[in-house]
Structure 1
């Protein structure tokens, strides 16, 4: 939930805070930020036409200086173009906080988790060993009108991760 909830003014992002609470250092390197053609699956998820432009932020998420996850976040250009989401700088409080400030608050998220073998680029960026599989988590966040406002594709070493879910019923 901390990754889906806007932060209070001045707060750091959820990853940095979570790592610090464990006595570790969470950080991220932004590889790319700006407008680009959305991959077909992402365009479909965001309700965009094939070949449509989205704002993307490609990052390497690190724990104590070691890569732990590759995260690509996509936003419809209609809500993110011309905002800090399209720039390479770090966003205080994270993208969810900025989206909320822009009037786009997530109320529902759908996640799909799959296991697979990594691409050559993923092996290199995540410093994977031979034959080491990855988990891919694809998350779509929707607003109160059930419009998709963000699509994330996260890739992480399967043997170095634990996914934890808490589900409230009723």
Structure 2
């Protein structure tokens, strides 16, 4: 017999969760006007203040917007699918970073802001993925990727020092085409990548960088990129706002 379990969230959190799922999965389409507060009170059997708290949560998450005198509406582009595969191939000669070129295909404006370039002792799982010895160091390049000026992804990418030293990767500046292009030019083209995706409580760094509302988790991708002979050439931690983006993978089945 299954054990009894109680949802201990407050009523407004439960209402927000129900509405959020309908919005992000398309059951309530962008531009749709939500029912009135009295209608939602009746639907959920709660007080008006509870409904208002729920709606405020979703407004802070930028899923809803209030229009004075008209009501509360679902915002456009409430959740966007990101396809990792399209960003992996190196950019062609003279072409921009793929984050920017792929955004243009969707009529969006992609941009990147480099936050830090430094040699560090990486976190345990990064060190293990790169095959470093205890206390070994790697190059960290940290940046914010944005779509239409909205912070979308906090990226912390680590590279083996033997590949990075003496190259533009060590400099605190953007690289034309991105690091995949530079690594390919150095003889280390990306051949395969492995993603592990999880939902996690954000760190303060992630909350500030992604401008996250209170109590909103991040979708964290731990990615290892391999070149020829299964050599790891990059390990990245990619954090996105879980309520705004989803990952899309298309894999062939043999």
TM-score category of the 2 structures, normalised to the smaller one: over 0.9
Q: Could you tell me which of 140, 149, 161 is aligned with 1:65?
A: 149
Q: What is the correspondence of 1:66-145 to structure 2 with a 5 Å cutoff?
A: 66-145=150-229
Q: TM-score, normalised by structure 1?
A: 0.95
Q: TM-score, normalised by structure 2?
A: 0.65
For the pair 1:157 / 2:241, whether they are aligned, the reply is yes
- Name the SS for the 1:59 alignment partner: strand
- Name the SS for the 1:168 alignment partner: coil
- Name the SS for the 1:159 alignment partner: coil
The count of aligned residue pairs is 170
Do 1:40 and 1:50's aligned partners in 2 also have CA atoms closer than 8 Å? no
> Partner of 1:21 in structure 2?
105
Structure 1 vs Structure 2 CA RMSD: 1.1
CA distance in 2, matches of 1:130, 1:77: 38
Gaps of 5+ in 1: none
Do 1:40 and 1:51's aligned partners in 2 also have CA atoms closer than 8 Å? no
| 4+ runs deviating over 4 angstroms | none
- Name the SS for the 2:229 alignment partner: coil
Higher relative contact order (CA 8 A, sep 6+): 1
Q: Could you tell me which of 42, 47, 51 is aligned with 2:126?
A: 42
Gaps of 5+ in 2: 1-84
CA distance in 2, matches of 1:51, 1:64: 40
CA distance in 1, matches of 2:211, 2:249: 27
CA distance in 2, matches of 1:112, 1:52: 23
Do 1:33 and 1:56's aligned partners in 2 also have CA atoms closer than 8 Å? yes
Structure with bigger helix share is 2
Structure with bigger strand share is 1
The alpha carbon displacement at 1:50 in A equals 2.3
The alpha carbon displacement at 1:3 in A equals 1.6
CA distance in 2, matches of 1:86, 1:151: 16
